[in-house]
Amino acid sequence: DYTIETRVAFGGELDLTGTVLGLTLRTDAFPRD
């Protein structure tokens, strides 16, 4: 997973960004009414 690799590479510095991206992608894939 790219997000996990990014987190490890940055030592969790982009943990929040990765989480936000993950949630955004999930919302985009599974939009809620």
Q: How many structural domains compose the chain? A: 1
Instruction: Look up the pTM and report it.
Output: 0.27
Give me the domain span that covers residue 18: 1-32
pLDDT (0 to 100) of residue 3:
58
Lookup result for tokens 């996990």: 4
pLDDT tens digit sequence for 1-33: 555 565 555 555 555 666 777 777 766 666 666
What the block records as the tokens of 31 is 């939009």
Q: Name the residue type at position 16.
A: L
